[in-house]
Amino acid sequence: MFYPLPVPFAHTAPPPVEPYPSGPYPIYPPPPNGPYLSAPGPMLPEGMILEIEPTSTDAERAVPKALARWRDVGTALRACWSPPATGAGNAEARQVTLRLGFNKYGNLMGPPRITYASPPQTTDAQKSFTASVLAALKRCAPLPFTPGLGSAIAGVPFAIRFVDPFASEKAR
């Protein structure tokens, strides 16, 4: 008589996949009658994220007299920033992301940290672009926060992305 050789796990289903990821902390399944206390969803970053592009008109370059809202911070930084002229060696879009914080009076809490810089075609182009971003922060500081915004914004980490998408258009 001929008996086929056993193939491991050929007759069984694959092992079950855990419905909840395992990690260093115990994760319990939701109760059967409802969701978690805080509904699971996309993770929100701690702090504020801004994206700043260069301005083209003088009206956009006017720094607000008093910053009363979170989005006014981006407007003020945008008014202070002018990217360097684009040469033949840096015709692609350029960007730098900084991580920084402000105190309630509008001063920087320590030096800003560069968390991302787009890969440059030349190192001189990247250095001049990064220098223009850091010079804009020095020009703007201290930002004129209202007392309400200053109290709300103090110590909150900001991730600010400076983008020059028109670099390729300027080079033409």
Q: What is the pLDDT of residues 43-98, one digit of tens each?
A: 445 667 777 877 665 555 666 788 998 888 888 888 888 888 765 455 567 889 99
User: Global pTM?
Assistant: 0.64
Q: What is the CATH architecture of 48-171?
A: 2-Layer Sandwich (3.30)
> Any idea where the domains of the chain sit in the sequence?
48-171
Distance between CA atoms of residues 92 and 157, nearest Å: 29
Cα separation of 2 and 85, whole Å?
82
Burial class (CB within 10 angstroms; exposed 0-12, middle 13-18, buried 19+) of 39: exposed
Largest separation between any pair of C-alpha atoms in the chain: 95
Cross-strand partners of 163: 95
Distance, CA of 105 to CA of 69 (rounded, Å): 14
Q: pLDDT value at position 23?
A: 53
Reference 133, options 166, 169, 164; nearest CA is 164
